[in-house]
Amino acid sequence: MKLIVLLLLTLMFQEFTAFGQALRPEQMVQSYLNIKDHKIYFETSGSGQSLILIHGGYLDHDIWNNQVTYLNNNGFKTIIFDDLGHGNTRNGREELYGYEIIEQLRTHLKLGKISLVGLSWGAMLSVDYTLKYPQNVDKLVLISPGMNGWN
C-alpha cells in the first residue's frame, strides 16, 4: 500500500517539466540489453526493493524521471527502459514481446521478485508479464491500463 501511495503522490504533485528535465541520481547506470536482434535501452538506479517502471505508448523512459528520483530517495531500486519502437531502443526484425523484455531485464539484473508500475501501454505489458510469470511479481501498479485479450 505504501508503494501505491508514494507513486500516486509523485504523479499528482510532481512539477510537470519537459521530458527528462528532473535531476538524476548519481548512481544511475545506463546500458543496453541485447535480446534476439534488438538492443533494449535501460537505466538502473537506487537500492532497495526493485521496481520496473514501464512507460506508455509514444513516450519513453524519461517520463519517469521525477518518480525515479523520489523513489530512489525513499529506498527503492528503479529500472526504466525504452520499449520497442520508443526512445533509445534499437529494433530488430525478430518477434519480441514486452513481457519477454521484462523477464530478460529481471534475469540480466539478477533480481528476485519485482514490482511493476505500468502506465497505459506499460500497464498492459505489466499485466501480460504477471500472467506469464506470476511467481516473479511482488506488486503490480497499473495506471490507466489497456488490456490484451478482449474480443
SS3 content of the chain, % helix, strand, coil (to 5): 35, 25, 40
- The number of domains in the chain is 1
Judge whether 61 lies within some domain. Answer: yes
For residue 5, is pLDDT > 80? Answer: no
Residues 84-128 have pLDDT tens digits of: 999 999 999 999 999 999 999 999 999 999 999 999 999 999 999
Judge whether 86 lies within some domain. Answer: yes
Give phi and psi for 125, each to the nearest 5: -65, -35
**pLDDT (average), residues 14-34:** 64
- Kindly indicate the confidence band of residue 63, based on its pLDDT and cuts at 50, 70 and 90: very high
Contact 43, 105 (CB under 8 A): no
Judge whether 149 lies within some domain. Answer: no
The domain containing residue 36 runs over which residues?
Answer: 26-143
For residue 20, is pLDDT > 50? Answer: no
pTM over 0.95? The answer is: no
Share of the chain above pLDDT 70, in %: 81
The CATH number of the domain holding residue 40 is 3.40.50.1820
What span, in angstroms and rounded, lies between the C-alpha atoms of 141 and 126?
8
